[in-house]
Structure 1
């Protein structure tokens, strides 16, 4: 991989180089930083703040001269965020260890010297008088558990333990002062999560709450998957702690064998460790952080409240390292270890930011975010149900301001166990950005997508050679790669949207101006799709990827070309396509029949694919497709190239490398998990028992695809497969019946029983349509 900066710096002939570039060839000025600054002759050192100030002085005297701020080994506890503003430096500045990588930590925490005393039930207490709140406690550099119910369980699927009775009146009665406690819960439809701060207790014993704004698709908390923390009465397990602000007392139950008298105690303090702050007119330039460990930052889940257009996301525009208004800034070889929020956030105007060779793990939020400002978006809308108005709309193409990341890169990063607190998170998140390259990253053990693109603005992203697996572990209806495209042309009402795109098909590419490329990746999702192009995702070229388990979904959208992919133990899922979508699906290997839902119109080319047998070809379009054993070279070792004589070769499939997925650095390769390879199995047809209801065809919600196509939060309801003309109810094909009269409908049996109960009476219905409940009268 070529260095993207080299192409810029050395593009001009030598005789045209500016004096600043010539000056950069001089050796960098070294400044030595120590946790204990010393003026000792021969090796003087200074504090970090003094070194930053000295670098400024040197670069004022010698403009363009590079400076290296070198850290002696140790942990540097910052009293405040290191803020680097535009114009302060006048040349390259690199922050790096003086010795080996991994010997320096920049900490957003504060060390405490405590005198512990036994309290009761194995719990100890110590006086702590500090002027800030903290969310994390570290004992001997290991994160501990804030007192919670249910207790922490490393094997539990959701939030390391959830319980329906976490908010029961009986449990609430046991809490004397729950104010300051927190509730964490999944979204009712498992589309991310919510967080609430407890502010009091009502007279009826229910809680007074603040929060719930962390998800942009408001539906309320999940009935089962929730837990409470920071409640004193729930401190009952080893490694749990609680800080009583009123008495300034820290309570902690150590694990057996812990010597608290000698233990190193650190609490989180800062939300950001480093902030580079400029803007498009005055950017921060040419700063590098290299081979440094970042740790101990505060959780930010209660600050995650800014909605991202009409995706499901809300964000906190910050991270352990924040790049906001920068050019040519680099984060490389760094470790982000158990931080409370996002690891790296690239916000607003940024050009050529490079996050590479990093080890990002156990983050409370996302790994790397590239997120522009809504002021760059034309006709911006922020909530799913908001409808655009075409009259008077700004219909020009592309962004209207420069306040977005452009030509930035995430390369060779190991990203795992992110989203430990925030479930609407991703290994790499892209929103309101252009030409972002996400290459050779290994991403796994995440609660939602490994890589997420929130909308079409403005495309040009290259997603390549990534290895993404163990995804969507705590949520639902999502993919290892996920995208949305609810841009200017997209309406929540499908009937209106059909008319809109028929009248103005050119509007689709006014936001999605550049084609997004997904190539040479390996994806696996066992709880959704390997590749999930959801609502409106448009202008994609997807080729030469391996889908290990979850298949590939294209929901409503336009201009998607999907070719030369290998889809194992699954197939192609086209959902509710538009007429004239111009979609193409060709030269792919699928291992079962397509899974279409709500398809009236097929795209431009759905042909020249390879199926396991003739019976699996279930479309009117695949007239030149092949059937038979694809003859994979070595599926047991992950080589899904095909041998000579494979029917896939006759269908136009071309072999591509199978050994280039994921990180490339030797140290990151040694750390990374291996993607679980599937045992190839024969396809089995899903149950599709269709019943007759008053002349309409109806069935149960049986698959994730049916649930996703309808936008349902669960599998409850009766799905209308076909509705005859002049039907007694004004319902539509694709509606899901939830209620007949006063009777709830969880399945087809309930529907038929309700019809018998009411006989020929005229009763209202409740159906699910356009992702919301709709009342229907006869």
Structure 2
């Protein structure tokens, strides 16, 4: 029986395994051809007919020449194609060529000028709808308000009046408009169709099921699209299905395109076995997936008690499969999820792929709720303890396990759906996420929706520029609202006091987070939220947001480094069993309602004696130390400590500083990691300035600065320069401001400022008092 091999070993092994039939495919081929290299067929569906008709039981290698393959339906690979461990079905793009699997339909419109630089063309009546439009492979902008702005933080541009009655009055046909908005608490997003207008002129909306914590759409961060009257900018388009007319506005002085393509299919390739009869050993390599339709209105199924709902589909859908491999593929601006591994799967590997601007998540592993014992599906719902199934672990085998995600580059995902992640895991076990680079995502880079059933290994990843469009989240995020969880904390306290092992009914194996580098500027670098239990967290670099442990059980956190931040223990259980030791923190701890500090909190390194004494006042860290950690090269991101560092005396051990994908071509495409240039808190009592979100900030020193600012004393964080357009400027701060309070707590110096700001950075806005123009002024500083 064939053992699991890497792709290159697999290729080398094919001849030794027996005869291999090769089928060649080319956009210039003919489906009447036999599929030889000299006479290729034109499409994958014809190639599938050829290999299915071959009864020789030999390996099959399908080679696609470069070019675009417009699929008229998804390629569905079933046990009929390969159910054996003795042969391989291998589908690959030819070496050095780009084979594109497209979910779009090509058109050659006959344009006529309509008005104001807009052209229109009649479209065949069989075209019922258009979701996305492409010209020369590039996606165009569906007519929208406000106009597309690549620099805008939310949805590429939002407006409070996007669906105001006064604006709707300008639309001849409001029906069919699509509204996108953030969740009111910025926990993901919502999407709606406009189905009509009520007697008050307000839009009647259908949708909003894309979030499992219903609170309504955000009053400010919203936009509307698919409205003809909003077609007013170059590269915008609109399709009128009733009149079969396509409208397009090219760039000034540019003629309309001779050819376009519109998205129609959602899934491009589906690997789908049957219960008890999985598809086996299908290998996909060097393929590009592109131009498929968006799926945001199908994102409806709630995922237990996390904040998510999902659509069980993607450009590549894998279900009931074993020993399948997806390698070196490019998922190019796909409309929804790039890869969705659904229900029962085993040994499915996604390796060395590039996922760019996916509409939803990059890679998702999601099991079937039927495998969960006593499941509940919304935050406030629960199964009463006296009715609960107390058997540990899963109920059925219908979930992904023993799967790998390695050496991928996942970037700019969540283009449409904000409750998304670079890698999403739910109702699964033993998922390895290693050596991936994940950056520029609206929410978490890696998300674990609940404890079912643990055993995940998450290591050597580089995850940064996260939670860019949402809040109260982390670069790594998890929830643990498992069987033991109850929405009434008092009930849960009572139940877990009697038996803390309840937390391990679903989180049966530890999830290990090790040797990663995380950065989040709008939450925590590592965020173990509501009930997350049974974790081992070691050898991680937290670049900005620190590490949070909310109520849960049996977490061991050791040998981690938290730059310009610290440890955030929140609302712990009295018998949590948590351990926090041998870590380097660079601000004081930031506890919230921690009556008992777990099993052990000790042998850590603090930045100064004040932070250490504050911890010891809580009864922790009797053997911890304080002082400069003496990093080898902080500005270059080398956080190994030098010989003689007090961190070593506290039990800290140096570890590797290698993170992210190891594939050179992918490393070259990744955005640079925003490394901290300095330890802010080392400068809290000195005359040195710090650079914070593009601003220059220092302590107030001397009568000259007191006079210039009008302050009565030398307290506060002085914003000497806030360049227009900087992140600090966008947050609401201005040159000459002196921040004197954050969330009602006095700010004496830049050390206080950074520490207090990081404590509240997860919030939508932070209440700040500044001294501006010789008087105090209250601000709500944005993120």
Corresponding position of 2:675: 677
Distance 2:480 2:765 in 1: 23
> Retained in 2: the 8 A contact 1:642–1:655?
yes
Distance 1:547 1:379, change over 3 A: same
Corresponding position of 1:177: 173
> Retained in 2: the 8 A contact 1:568–1:680?
no
Q: Is residue 73 of structure 2 the alignment partner of residue 77 of structure 1? A: no
Corresponding position of 1:429: 424
Q: Secondary structure at the match of 1:501?
A: helix
Distance 1:195 1:703 in 2: 32
> Retained in 2: the 8 A contact 1:24–1:66?
no
Distance 1:290 1:6, change over 3 A: closer
Distance 1:352 1:666 in 2: 25
In the TM superposition, 1:77-116 aligns within 5 A as 77-89=70-82, 90=84, 91-101=87-97, 103-116=98-111
1:704 Cα shift?
Answer: 7.4
Q: Secondary structure at the match of 1:667?
A: helix
Distance 2:153 2:760 in 1: 24
Distance 1:485 1:705, change over 3 A: farther
1:354 to 334, 349, 356: 349
Corresponding position of 1:34: 26
Which segments of 5 or more consecutive residues in structure 1 lack a partner in the other structure?
11-20, 692-701, 718-746, 750-778
> Retained in 2: the 8 A contact 1:388–1:489?
no
1:27 Cα shift?
Answer: 4.3
Corresponding position of 1:138: 134
> Retained in 2: the 8 A contact 1:376–1:403?
yes
Corresponding position of 1:564: 559
Greater mean deviation of Cα atoms: 666-675 or 515-524: 666-675
1:504 Cα shift?
Answer: 2.4
Distance 2:128 2:444 in 1: 33
Corresponding position of 1:293: 288
> Retained in 1: the 8 A contact 2:146–2:158?
yes
> Retained in 2: the 8 A contact 1:32–1:98?
no
2:214 to 202, 212, 218: 218
Q: Is residue 583 of structure 2 the alignment partner of residue 588 of structure 1? A: yes
Q: Is residue 442 of structure 2 the alignment partner of residue 456 of structure 1? A: no
In the TM superposition, 1:627-666 aligns within 5 A as 627-658=626-657, 660-666=658-664
> Retained in 2: the 8 A contact 1:132–1:269?
no
1:87 Cα shift?
Answer: 3.1
In the TM superposition, 1:109-124 aligns within 5 A as 109-124=104-119
In the TM superposition, 1:263-412 aligns within 5 A as 264-412=259-407
Q: Secondary structure at the match of 2:424?
A: strand
1:505 Cα shift?
Answer: 1.4
Q: Is residue 40 of structure 2 the alignment partner of residue 45 of structure 1? A: yes
1:259 Cα shift?
Answer: 3.8
> Retained in 1: the 8 A contact 2:500–2:553?
no
Distance 2:609 2:37 in 1: 80
> Retained in 2: the 8 A contact 1:551–1:571?
yes
Q: Deviations over 1:377-408 (max 9, x none)?
A: 00000000012211131111110111100000
Q: Secondary structure at the match of 1:476?
A: coil
1:97 Cα shift?
Answer: 1.7
1:626 Cα shift?
Answer: 1.1
> Retained in 1: the 8 A contact 2:522–2:761?
no
Which segments of 5 or more consecutive residues in structure 2 lack a partner in the other structure?
685-715, 717-740, 747-755, 769-776
> Retained in 1: the 8 A contact 2:742–2:757?
no
Q: Secondary structure at the match of 1:119?
A: strand
Q: Deviations over 1:218-261 (max 9, x none)?
A: 00011100000001110101111100111111101112354435
Corresponding position of 1:162: 158
Distance 1:615 1:655 in 2: 25
1:277 Cα shift?
Answer: 1.3
Q: Is residue 536 of structure 2 the alignment partner of residue 541 of structure 1? A: yes
Distance 2:536 2:219 in 1: 39
The TM-score normalised by the length of structure 1 is 0.85
Distance 1:42 1:331, change over 3 A: closer
Distance 1:201 1:565, change over 3 A: same
1:208 Cα shift?
Answer: 1.2
1:62 to 56, 60, 63: 56
Corresponding position of 1:737: none
Q: Secondary structure at the match of 1:375?
A: helix
Distance 2:397 2:174 in 1: 46
In the TM superposition, 1:615-626 aligns within 5 A as 615-617=610-612, 618-619=614-615, 620-626=619-625
Q: Is residue 466 of structure 2 the alignment partner of residue 467 of structure 1? A: no
Q: Deviations over 1:316-355 (max 9, x none)?
A: 0000000011111111100001111000000000000001
Q: Secondary structure at the match of 1:165?
A: coil
Q: Secondary structure at the match of 2:505?
A: helix
Q: Give the total of aligned pairs.
A: 689
> Retained in 1: the 8 A contact 2:313–2:340?
yes
Q: Secondary structure at the match of 1:382?
A: coil
Distance 1:156 1:8 in 2: 41
1:500 to 491, 495, 504: 495
Q: Secondary structure at the match of 1:83?
A: strand
Corresponding position of 2:437: 442
Q: Secondary structure at the match of 1:407?
A: strand
Q: Secondary structure at the match of 2:485?
A: coil
Greater mean deviation of Cα atoms: 317-326 or 272-281: 272-281
Distance 1:454 1:22 in 2: 39
Distance 1:22 1:445 in 2: 39
Distance 2:388 2:3 in 1: 37
Distance 1:372 1:257, change over 3 A: farther
Distance 2:267 2:3 in 1: 27
Corresponding position of 1:727: none
1:24 Cα shift?
Answer: 6.3
Distance 1:377 1:169, change over 3 A: same
CA RMSD of aligned residues (A): 2.4
Distance 1:164 1:689, change over 3 A: closer
> Retained in 2: the 8 A contact 1:268–1:296?
yes
Q: Secondary structure at the match of 1:215?
A: coil
> Retained in 1: the 8 A contact 2:464–2:518?
yes
Distance 2:285 2:22 in 1: 15
Q: Deviations over 1:712-763 (max 9, x none)?
A: 877699xxxxxxxxxxxxxxxxxxxxxxxxxxxxx999xxxxxxxxxxxxxx
Q: Secondary structure at the match of 2:520?
A: coil
Distance 1:258 1:166 in 2: 30
Distance 1:559 1:7, change over 3 A: farther
Q: Is residue 188 of structure 2 the alignment partner of residue 192 of structure 1? A: yes
Corresponding position of 1:6: 5
Distance 1:219 1:191 in 2: 10
1:451 Cα shift?
Answer: 0.4
> Retained in 1: the 8 A contact 2:476–2:526?
yes
Distance 2:439 2:253 in 1: 33
> Retained in 1: the 8 A contact 2:81–2:89?
no
Distance 1:112 1:570, change over 3 A: same
Q: Is residue 233 of structure 2 the alignment partner of residue 241 of structure 1? A: no
> Retained in 2: the 8 A contact 1:77–1:108?
yes
> Retained in 1: the 8 A contact 2:437–2:660?
yes
Distance 1:48 1:166 in 2: 43
Q: Secondary structure at the match of 1:577?
A: coil
> Retained in 2: the 8 A contact 1:528–1:550?
yes
Corresponding position of 2:522: 527
> Retained in 2: the 8 A contact 1:641–1:656?
yes
Distance 2:270 2:457 in 1: 27
